[in-house]
């Protein structure tokens, strides 16, 4: 703890990856309170390594540009942006190639190097506090506290011990859907998370589920009133700019969409098992994201679903325009942004309570439990009641207005102006 009761006028935001850190930095920029935004990946065509795309032959250039533009936010003033290192790119390549353990080791190395590069900034005489993200902030927070700076920890996921408890149970029930048995969050990472809790002056989560998991497991038991829920927002540049009032199919298949990492943690096994039982003439389902189910298992269901690997964020709105329902039976999240994006795009929701803050009785169905039976019941409800489905979709875009960028920015302003 810093011994101060208010934050500095300027806040530095850092994240070695992305998460929703761009939106946090942009909110602070527009409030006139951003010191800098430090990250590893931020698309700036005139800087290295992004200049390389100009030198590549087509169609390689098109593929590289396709990947680069996943990390673009033109609203952010690049004068505030600091990009450091290439470890995040290497980590992503290792992850895409299936080397998960190598990817995690590179991530740890990158976080440590990232913090070291930030250290000189924190040792400067300029007055600013720090806004960092879960499992990547401990080294930077140590340096910040030594310099007398306050620390905000944005915990974008639930506590690792709750993750391990849930996943252990799922491994007992659905072992064939796991790519390997090394799904548990390791003890050393949980120890680092605990240190982040202890160093933070304020701990933010995106949902009551995530907050409860931190409160339940934090080792020192002292998070107390330092722990707060701060609702996230959707990107209004991309989502919600079209009317979905009259496009619900009155007959034929209802179009379901699953978007995100397609693994057991997010309930993909439930989706595959449920839609295997539902006739094609009643429903279609499209899965977009990194498929984490073993190929031999997924092949048993692949003819029943449409699958597409991860796409740039700029392509997601068009995918959502061609769906009626986002289905997201996740077991463990912080608060999934895809839920807010789907509502803004006029999709009905079927989600778990663990997935985050979004669905209401007017916009979709909250699953009472995470079982095949509960999910199938919810799916059949929206298939059989097209009027209710149309109502869900019509209400979704109105409900999404509770999660605009302006609301998020106002919440940040209130947080920084109040005592901590």
- Which of 231-240, 282-291, 406-415 is least confident? 231-240
CA distances from 201 to 3, 122, 415 (A): 10, 16, 12
Q: What integer pLDDT is reported at residue 182 of this predicted model?
A: 85
Cα torsion 86, 88, 89, 90: sign:
positive
Q: What integer pLDDT is reported at residue 216 of this predicted model?
A: 92
Task: From 148, 138, 199, 121, select the one nearest 7 (Cα to Cα).
Answer: 148
Q: What integer pLDDT is reported at residue 58 of this predicted model?
A: 73
Quick one: tokens of 365?
A: 């169905």
Q: Which domains does the chain have, with CATH numbers?
A: 11-233+405-417 (3.40.50), 254-403 (3.40.50.2000)
Contacts 24+ apart (CB under 8 A), 88-96: 88/16, 88/17, 88/40, 88/41, 89/40, 89/41, 89/49, 96/290
Name the strands in the sheet holding 129-133, side by side, starting at the edge strand that comes first in the sequence.
81-83, 34-39, 11-15, 129-133, 151-155, 202-205, 227-229
CA separation for the pair 142, 112 (Å, rounded): 12
Percent of the chain with pLDDT over 70: 81
- Which of 109-113, 210-214, 294-298, 410-414 is least confident? 109-113
pLDDT over threshold 70, residue 135: yes
pLDDT over threshold 80, residue 23: yes
Question: Rounded to an integer, what is the distance from CA 115 to the centroid of its chain?
Answer: 22
CA separation for the pair 91, 290 (Å, rounded): 15
pLDDT over threshold 80, residue 47: no
Name the strands in the sheet holding 348-351, side by side, starting at the edge strand that comes first in the sequence.
306-308, 283-288, 254-259, 325-328, 348-351, 364-366
Under 8 Å between Cβ of 405 and 233? yes
Q: What integer pLDDT is reported at residue 170 of this predicted model?
A: 97
CA separation for the pair 375, 381 (Å, rounded): 10
pLDDT over threshold 60, residue 86: no
Cis, bond preceding 282 (omega within 30 deg of 0): no
Q: What integer pLDDT is reported at residue 125 of this predicted model?
A: 80
Q: State the average pLDDT over residues 401-414.
A: 96
pTM: 0.85
- Mean pLDDT score of the chain: 86
Quick one: tokens of 191?
A: 């120890």
Task: From 337, 328, 404, select the one nearest 20 (Cα to Cα).
Answer: 337
Q: What integer pLDDT is reported at residue 91 of this predicted model?
A: 47
Q: Are strands 81-83 and 283-288 parallel, antiparallel or unpaired?
A: unpaired
Q: Which residues contact 354 (CB under 8 A, 6 or more apart)?
A: 158, 209, 330, 331, 332, 333, 370
Under 8 Å between Cβ of 286 and 257? yes
Name the more confident of 45 and 142: 142
CA separation for the pair 238, 91 (Å, rounded): 27
CA separation for the pair 292, 312 (Å, rounded): 18
Q: What integer pLDDT is reported at residue 119 of this predicted model?
A: 73
List beta partners, residue 190. Answer: none
Cα torsion 130, 136, 138, 143: sign:
negative
Most confident of 83-87, 115-119, 248-252, 343-347: 343-347
- Which of 92-106, 222-236, 263-277, 360-374 is least confident? 92-106
Q: What integer pLDDT is reported at residue 45 of this predicted model?
A: 63
Give DSSP secondary structure letters for 140-200. HHHHHHHTT--EEEEE-B--HHHHHHHHHHHHHH-GGG-S-S--SPPHHHHHHHHHHHHH-
Give DSSP secondary structure letters for 260-311. S-BSGGGTHHHHHHHHHSS-TTTEEEEEES-B-S-HHHHTTTGGGSEEE---
Q: State the average pLDDT over residues 259-270.
A: 97
State which H helix or E strand residue 403 sits in: none
């Amino acid at each position: 703890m810093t011994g101060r009761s208010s934050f500095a006028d300027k806040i530095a935001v850092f994240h070695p990856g992305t998460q929703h850190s761009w939106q946090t930095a942009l909110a602070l920029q527009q409030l006139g309170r951003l010191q800098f935004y430090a990250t590893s990946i931020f698309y700036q065509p005139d800087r290295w390594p992004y200049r390389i795309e100009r030198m590549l032959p087509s169609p390689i250039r098109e593929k590289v540009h396709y990947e680069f533009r996943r990390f673009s936010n033109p609203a952010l003033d690049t004068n505030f942006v600091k990009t450091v290192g290439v470890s995040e790119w290497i980590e992503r390549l290792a992850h895409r190639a299936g080397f998960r353990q190598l990817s995690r080791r590179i991530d740890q190395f990158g976080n440590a190097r990232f913090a070291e590069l930030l250290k000189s900034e924190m040792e400067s005489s300029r007055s600013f506090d720090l806004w960092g993200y879960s499992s990547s902030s401990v080294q930077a927070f140590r340096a910040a506290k030594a310099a007398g700076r306050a620390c905000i920890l944005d915990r974008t996921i639930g506590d690792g011990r709750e993750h391990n408890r849930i996943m252990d149970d799922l491994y007992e029930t659905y072992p064939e859907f796991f790519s390997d048995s090394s799904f548990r969050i390791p003890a050393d990472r949980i120890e680092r998370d605990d240190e982040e809790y202890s160093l933070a002056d304020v701990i933010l989560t995106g949902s009551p589920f995530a907050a409860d998991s931190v409160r339940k497991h934090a080792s020192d038991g002292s998070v107390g009133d330092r722990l707060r829920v701060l609702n996230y927002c959707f990107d209004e540049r991309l989502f919600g700019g079209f009317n979905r009032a009259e496009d619900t199919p009155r007959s034929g298949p209802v179009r379901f969409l699953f978007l995100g990492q397609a693994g057991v943690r997010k309930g993909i096994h439930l989706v595959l098992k449920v839609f295997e039982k539902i006739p094609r003439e009643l429903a279609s389902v499209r899965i977009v994201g990194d498929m984490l189910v073993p190929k031999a298992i997924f092949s048993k269901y692949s003819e029943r679903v449409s699958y597409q690997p991860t796409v740039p964020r700029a392509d997601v709105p068009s995918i959502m325009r061609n769906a009626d329902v986002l289905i997201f039976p996740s077991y463990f999240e912080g608060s999934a942004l895809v839920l807010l994006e789907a509502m803004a795009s006029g999709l009905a929701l079927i989600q778990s309570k663990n997935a985050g803050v979004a669905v209401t009785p007017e916009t979709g169905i909250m699953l009472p439990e995470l079982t095949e039976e509960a999910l199938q019941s919810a799916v059949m409800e929206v298939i059989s009641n097209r009027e209710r489905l149309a109502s869900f979709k019509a209400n979704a875009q109105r409900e999404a207005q509770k999660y605009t960028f302006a609301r998020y920015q106002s919440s940040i302003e209130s947080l920084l102006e109040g005592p901590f």
